[in-house]
């Protein structure tokens, strides 16, 4: 494997201030990894067709940034659900089919993978509870954000102390959808029309997934912010499922966003 320095993730000043000194987080890009070809960079997607040894090396590099062994980088089998997994002291590396994790246990990094969907990291620095959620349109619409908040509260967090930050995800200028997609949202809540604007293609619209995500987080009573980074338009730094599809490539990598409570 290449002898590279550890990757340097993007950190949110809002989340860092809210989380305090014992909680560390990072929104990792594709920079600083050992994968090659269409996966070039820090591909951590075990579900991709990338060389598994390279994927595991990339994951080890992410864990090392948190001063943790790779076994303590907790990720799940994401299925676009509203379901949340609680990581406790008995965690042994299982990957249940859910789309969010929460913990009050130090020494474990909760990681969510993305390649256009929204990675959201949560922290209650006062009560030392953290969470991570993967929210594409389906997860955001069906309640994964609210479920993550409720799960954090079950571990001792206070709603008014939780801060959530949306990491790199597909932006409103890159997400064109058809009329049936718009109708699905308006059927849930007519006010969701605010998250769509006309596109250049007849009967299509541009969808603002980040705005929906932030709206639902704030409606749930937590402080919320965004890095405002578009995965589709920034090929140098981010993997993108939609960009890969448009380019006719056979597969795509996944970046990771992670958060951890330090051991005392």
Q: How confident is the model over 116-139, as pLDDT tens digits?
A: 999 999 999 999 999 999 999 999
Residue 94: how many CA atoms within 13 Å on its side-chain side?
12
CATH architecture of the domain with range 13-159+234-261? 4-Layer Sandwich (3.60)
Asked whether residue 3 carries a pLDDT value surpassing 80, the answer given is no
- End-to-end alpha-carbon separation of the chain, Å? 33
Are the CB atoms for 197 and 205 separated by under 8 Å?
Answer: yes
Q: How confident is the model over 201-246, as pLDDT tens digits?
A: 999 999 999 999 999 999 999 999 999 999 999 999 999 999 999 9
- 47, two tokens: 């579900």
Q: What is the mean pLDDT of the chain?
A: 97
| % of residues, the chain, pLDDT over 90 | 97
Question: What's the rounded mean pLDDT across residues 35-52?
Answer: 97
Q: What is the pTM of this model?
A: 0.97
Report residue 226: phi and psi, to 5°: -140, 150
Q: Residue ranges per domain, the chain?
A: 13-159+234-261
- Inter-CA distances, 137 with 12, 82, 144, 164, 181, Å: 23, 11, 10, 17, 10
How high is the pLDDT of residue 207?
98
């Amino acid at each position: 494997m290449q002898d590279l320095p550890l990757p340097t993730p993007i950190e949110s000043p809002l989340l860092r201030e809210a989380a305090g000194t014992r909680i560390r987080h990072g929104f990792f890009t594709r920079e600083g990894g050992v994968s090659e070809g269409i996966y070039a960079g820090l591909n951590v997607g075990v579900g991709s067709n990338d060389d598994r040894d390279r994927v595991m090396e990339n994951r080890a590099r992410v864990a090392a940034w948190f001063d943790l062994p790779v076994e303590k980088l907790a990720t799940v089998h994401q299925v676009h659900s509203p379901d949340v997994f609680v990581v406790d002291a008995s965690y042994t590396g299982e990957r249940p089919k859910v789309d969010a994790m929460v913990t009050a246990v130090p020494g474990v990094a909760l990681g969510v993978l993305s390649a256009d969907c929204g990675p959201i990291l949560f922290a209650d620095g006062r009560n030392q509870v953290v969470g991570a959620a993967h929210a594409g349109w389906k997860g955001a619409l069906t309640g994964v954000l609210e479920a993550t908040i409720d799960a954090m509260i079950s571990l001792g967090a206070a709603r008014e102390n939780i801060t959530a930050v949306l990491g790199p995800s597909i932006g409103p200028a890159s997400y064109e959808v058809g009329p049936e997609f718009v109708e699905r949202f308006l059927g849930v809540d007519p006010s969701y029309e605010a998250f769509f604007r006309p596109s250049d293609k007849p009967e299509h619209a541009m969808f603002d997934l980040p705005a929906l995500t932030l709206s639902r987080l704030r409606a749930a009573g937590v402080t919320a912010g965004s890095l405002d980074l578009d995965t589709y338009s920034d090929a140098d730094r981010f993997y993108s499922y939609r960009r890969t599809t448009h380019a006719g490539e056979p597969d795509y990598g996944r970046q990771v966003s992670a958060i951890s409570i330090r051991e005392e």
